[in-house]
Structure 1
Amino acid sequence: MIKLFATDLDGTLFRNYSTILEEDKRAMHMLHDHQITLTIATGRSDNEIQEIFKLLNLNGNRISQNGSFVHNADGELLHEQTFSPELSQTLYREIEKHGINYLVSTKDHIMTKDKNDFFKKYEDVFFFPLVESQAFDTEIGKTIIPSKFMIVGETPEVSAVQAELAKQYEGAMESYLSDPSCVDLVPKGISKGTALDRLLKTIDTAPEEIAVIGDSFNDISMFQMTPHSYAMASAHPDVKKHANYVVEHVHEAVADLKTKGLLG
């Protein structure tokens, strides 16, 4: 039987950066009624996951920033990992050299060096205002502790920078195309799958007792954990091939689990 259901947000449960389908909300409540714990696993920050839970009028586990932070349903912090001061500074300087738009995530904020017209428009994607700081040059790795860098732009542009940085910092960081317009750079060893595994060990739950759903490359590590893995039909073919099932909506995955008698 399924004990835990883990869902990605953007492009999965959260559509067009703004809405959750009523059918998906009902599906999440059905899981709750069957005493199945909901887990949200996303590249977004923890405070944004909390806002999603408020929209659902539910509670659950929180895996934020691709696994840099893991909270259980009681709000206890189970894991936290940020970039080292030295790597923060060198990675920041290297990103600056590319002249590309980027954001810096800390535990509590999403920050930009310059809230220009590009980011004022992009800010609508987030639940909280971007924090502007002119102190990146001196404070990155000191008072500004990055847990994630986000490179933002058109897919070919961000993918090219991702490839170069991944080669240059191999063994020091992970990179994920979390959205067609965004590459996430996180500390080495950080992934949704690793975070979910950490969580499962605290609640005595086996991988075959969970179901997962997502739509992006940063969801593949979750797909590889369990036979009950679902990819969104809108996902890239290279993402879908790692999941065992493909669905149009989250509620279809829940319905499939129910049909198979896996919800108890």
Structure 2
Amino acid sequence: MYETIRYEIKDKVGWLTLNRPEKLNAITNTMNQEIIDVLKKVENNNQVRVLVITGAGKAFCSGEDISSLQADMNLGEIIKSRYKPMMEKLAQVEKPVVASVNGAAAGAGFSLALACDFRIASEKASFMEAFIHIGLIPDSGNLYYLPRIVGLAKALELAILGEKLKADEAKRLGIVTKVVKPNELEKETAAFAERLANMPTKAIGLIKRYMQKSFETNLSNMLDYEAYGQEIAGGTEDYVEGVQAFLAKRSPEYKGY
């Protein structure tokens, strides 16, 4: 069905695999559109409670396919027409999104990983702000997410020096949630995704929504947002189940709504 990606659903988890291993999963216009299509499907399918994004072969994603660019192209228009819709749609998915980083995540591939909620990385994974090496600036949400994760000073260092980050250093900086052995990445990611898939999905979505708003508002407005979000969460079946399970001293069985 797709030319540049694979998508399958396994046990309430959607697995989106960037599938251009011969090009280190470099992003093309077709891949942008296919990723957006999957994100829409995940958003509208109540049976999918978690999305995992990973790469085929030895890389997660090497960023934009430079070989497809021409000297007279307007790079700003490429960002606006291709990457902006993709990153905005990813941010709108009110379900947990996990990047399973199997190898290099560079350029826009690093941006894609940063835009996910969690990052499980192989010991062989690496992260690089590759933009500076061809005279460009980080894009695709990179300048938004990176300083929020590592702080301004470290983000400037990474973006300007463009040095490769190994998985263990990325873990120390808070970029990576967990580092695992290469042959255990799929199993560890699946176990982590399963844990998320059995949590109250609506509450997770509300946490994501209002935590994003916290960067754009004051305390008084944030307290109102929290109250509104809590009203929504309190009207879910998962809230009822959570309270009943707590009182009965048993494990809750959440449905995601």
What is the TM-score of this pair, normalised by structure 1? Answer: 0.32
Structure showing the higher strand proportion among its residues: 1
Rg comparison, structure with higher value: 2
Structure showing the higher helix proportion among its residues: 2
What is the TM-score of this pair, normalised by structure 2? Answer: 0.32
* Greater RCO, 1 or 2 (C-alpha within 8 Å, sep 6+): 1
